[in-house]
Amino acid sequence: MFGGLEDFKTYPSSVRYGLFYLVLGWAAHFYTLYQLFGGDLPRRRLYEQAVIAASMLVFVGMAKNWARILCLLANALIMLIHAFIIALCIKSGLHEIALSAFAALVLFAMSTWYLAIGESSEFFKSRVKVPEPPLEEEGEDGSPWKPPPEKRP
């Protein structure tokens, strides 16, 4: 249905770097959450984010253009969240947490940059399958077949 993960050696270097920084960004995100909340983060929220991260990595890794677009939007949102965390932590004097949030922000920004540049965009767009128009059936005389008109009472 979705196809398999292709050989990453065939991917342009910008896509490979984008995926690499995306993995690191999610790792830094979860580390920041751990530092910020410790064991107080509800497991359900943690699992939801883990599923989102895994799904994003798999579908972007499968070179789905729609997944790349969603990933870019999600990265922008996550960068805003981390910018907010940085501001709060600096104001509260929690500089170690602010540093890990800054690292996550930078990693997501690098992933966004590499997945948004032209080389990556062209690669993902080239993977989009455009459906072919259906073949027209031919009538007995070789002309295109047309359904008979509907009879109205």
> What confidence tens digit (pLDDT) does each residue in 72-102 have?
999 999 999 999 999 999 999 999 999 999 9
149 falls within a domain:
no
- Lowest-pLDDT choice from 3-17, 35-49, 69-83, 129-143: 129-143
pLDDT in tens, 59-68: 988 888 899 9
The count of domains in the chain is: 1
146 falls within a domain:
no
> What confidence score (pLDDT) does residue 1 get?
40
Strands (E), the chain: none
- pTM for this prediction: 0.77
Judged against a pLDDT cut of 50, whether residue 124 lies above it is answered with: yes
101 falls within a domain:
yes
44 falls within a domain:
yes
DSSP code of residue 127: T
150 falls within a domain:
no
Most confident of 45-54, 125-134, 138-147: 45-54
Quickly list H helices, 1-153: 13-37, 43-61, 65-92, 95-116, 118-126
**Range(s) of the domain holding residue 112:** 11-126
